[in-house]
Amino acid sequence: MVKPNLKVKIGGLELRNPVIVASGTFGSGEEYKDLLDLDKIGAIVTKSITLRPREGNPPPRVIETPSGMLNSIGLQNDGIDAFIKDKITFLNKIKTAVIVSIAAHNIDDYAEIAGKLDKIRRVDAIEINISCPNVKGGLEFAREPGSAAAVVAKVRAVSRKPLITKLSPNVKDITEIAMAAEDAGSDAVSLVNTFAGMAIDISAKRSVLGNVVGGLSGPAIKPIALRMVWETAKKVKIPVIGMGGIMGYEDALEFIIAGAAAVEIGTVNFVNPRAATDIIGGIEKYMRQEKIKNIKELTGCLRT
């Protein structure tokens, strides 16, 4: 059989395959360069960047939970100017698509960051993170269709890059937020970000996390994330990027069959640094076995 076609399009951006490494789990790629071939990945989403440097939340920041992980990093980063100065040189050396995640506490800051990135040729797309659950105010823009649309519209006005809006599951109806982002000019939506959660030390009678609340990720959230992706894919015309508890190629295929054009993998990168290439290989093997020539044949093919 001819090699299966794994190429997918996210707005105007074509990826060699649908496997993307998620923001906050892969640094800016350089941290993993000796562990796997970065040029085989569909895309790298960088750690979320803010306008100015952020120290993040107080420790402890990460704890293991049954079938998952709670993190409360708090968007620690060196700011957009340091990112451009220190990270772009390495990113210029790789062929994989680069999607930069941006975060902010106000709409003007989102626009300023996006405006700076719009001038950087190596940046292939922008993921607008309106959904971080472990930063005070971080969910404000993801909660309502109007506020989500306002952020997207402001960024769209200053950037020609493909825009991906990252949605929160901690809302009443995620499909409403997705449709609002689409109407405001987003080229795709990615979902879901982590679920707000917490853990308590019963001996100390204190929160285990320094910030009390963190974001739950990992296999524990997969069934809910999968349902949200399926519901959203039926409501929007733009590509949906699915994520949430993907640990192997079978999980990735579930999201694709549910309607995702591509997937992002996050927590698994801490367990298996080579997970991205393993999942790509697994998808290709499955397609050969099932005699599927194009990944698009699988997208949204769920029988109900």
Read off the pLDDT of residues 52-73 as tens digits, 9 standing for 90 and up. 999 999 999 999 999 999 999 9
Interatomic CA distance for residues 301 and 253, integer angstroms: 11
Read off the pLDDT of residues 224-261 as tens digits, 9 standing for 90 and up. 999 999 999 999 999 999 999 999 999 999 999 999 99
Could you tell me which CATH number the domain at 8-53+76-198+217-297 has? 3.20.20.70
C-alpha torsion sign, points 178, 184, 189, 193? negative
> Which residues, 6+ apart, have CB-to-CB distance to 123 below 8 Å?
98, 99, 100, 117, 161
The structural domains of the chain, with segments of one domain joined by +, span 8-53+76-198+217-297
The residues that are catalytic are 132
Interatomic CA distance for residues 30 and 24, integer angstroms: 13
Predicted TM-score of the model (pTM): 0.97
Contact 57, 85 (CB under 8 A): no
DSSP code string of 156-177: HHH--S-EEEEPPSSSS-HHHH
C-alpha torsion sign, points 263, 266, 271, 273? positive
Read off the pLDDT of residues 11-44 as tens digits, 9 standing for 90 and up. 999 999 999 999 999 999 999 999 999 999 999 9
Q: Is 227 exposed, middle or buried (0-12, 13-18, 19+ CB in 10 A)?
A: middle
Asked if the peptide bond before residue 162 counts as cis, ω within 30 degrees of 0, the response is no
Interatomic CA distance for residues 275 and 36, integer angstroms: 9
